[in-house]
Amino acid sequence: MDPFVVVGGDAAGLSAASKCRRESDREVIVFERGQWISYAHCGTPYFVKGSVDRLTDLLSLSPAAAEERGIDLRRGHEVVSVDAEDRTVTVRTDDERFEQPYAELLVATGASAVTGPFDRGLDGVFSLHGLDDAAAIDAYLAAPEEYDPDRLGDGPVDRDRVDHNAALEPPDRAVIVGGGYVGVEMAEALTARGVDVHLYQRSAHLLVPFGTAVGEGVESELRDRGVTVHTDTEVDAVVGDGRVEAVRVDGDERPVDMALVGVGVEPNTALLDGTGVDRGPSGAIRTDEYGRTNLPAVYAAGDVATARHAVTGAETWVPLGLTANRAGRAVGSTVAGDPTPVGGVAGTAVVKAFDLECGRVGLVDTEAAAAAGFDPVSETITAGSRSGYYPGSEDTTVTLVADRTTGRTLGGAIVGRDRAAVRIDTLATAIGGGLTVAELERLDLAYAPPFSPVWDPILVAAKVVNGRLSE
In whole angstroms, how close is the CB of 411 to its own copies at the nearest point?
12
Q: Is 221 in the site for its own copies (CB under 8 A)?
A: no
Q: How far is it, in rounded angstroms, from Cα 342 to Cα 358?
A: 26
What are phi and psi for residue 140, nearest 5 degrees? -65, -35
Q: Is 469 in the site for its own copies (CB under 8 A)?
A: no
In whole angstroms, how close is the CB of 312 to its own copies at the nearest point?
13
The binding track of 319-348 with respect to its own copies, each residue x by CB under 8 A or -, is -xxxx-xx--------------x-xxxxxx
Binding its own copies by CB under 8 A: which of 120, 159, 223, 442? 442
Interface with its own copies by CB under 8 A: which range of 77-85, 112-120, 258-266, 423-431?
423-431
3-state secondary structure of 275: coil
As annotated, the active-site residues are 42
Question: How buried is 388 (Cβ within 10 angstroms: 0-12 exposed, 13-18 middle, 19+ buried)?
Answer: exposed
Interface with its own copies by CB under 8 A: which range of 110-118, 200-208, 251-259, 352-360?
352-360
Interface with its own copies by CB under 8 A: which range of 110-118, 262-270, 273-281, 436-444?
436-444
Q: Is 390 in the site for its own copies (CB under 8 A)?
A: yes
Q: How far is it, in rounded angstroms, from Cα 309 to Cα 345?
A: 5
Q: Is 186 in the site for its own copies (CB under 8 A)?
A: no
Q: Is 7 in the site for its own copies (CB under 8 A)?
A: no
Binding its own copies by CB under 8 A: which of 52, 125, 295, 383? 52
From the list 18, 27, 3, 1, the residue with the least C-alpha distance to 100 is 3
Q: Is 287 in the site for its own copies (CB under 8 A)?
A: no
User: In the Cβ-directed half-sphere of 264, how many Cα atoms lie within 13 Å?
Assistant: 11
CA distance to 41, 49, 151, 156, 157, per residue, from 54 (Å): 14, 11, 5, 13, 12
Entry field: residues in the chain: 471
Interface with its own copies by CB under 8 A: which range of 28-36, 239-247, 280-288, 422-430?
422-430
From the list 275, 296, 300, the residue with the least C-alpha distance to 287 is 300
Binding its own copies by CB under 8 A: which of 38, 109, 399, 426? 426
CB 275 within 8 A of CB 257: no
CB 419 within 8 A of CB 385: yes
Q: Is 43 in the site for its own copies (CB under 8 A)?
A: yes
Q: Are strands 4-7 and 104-107 parallel, antiparallel or unpaired?
A: parallel
From the list 342, 308, 341, the residue with the least C-alpha distance to 325 is 342
Q: Is 435 in the site for its own copies (CB under 8 A)?
A: yes
From the list 192, 190, 152, the residue with the least C-alpha distance to 36 is 152
Binding its own copies by CB under 8 A: which of 157, 452, 460, 461? 452
Which residues are at the interface with its own copies (CB under 8 A)?
A: 11, 40, 42-43, 46, 51-52, 57-58, 60, 310, 320-323, 325-326, 341, 343-352, 357, 359, 361, 387-391, 419, 421-426, 428-430, 432-435, 439-440, 442-452, 454-456, 458
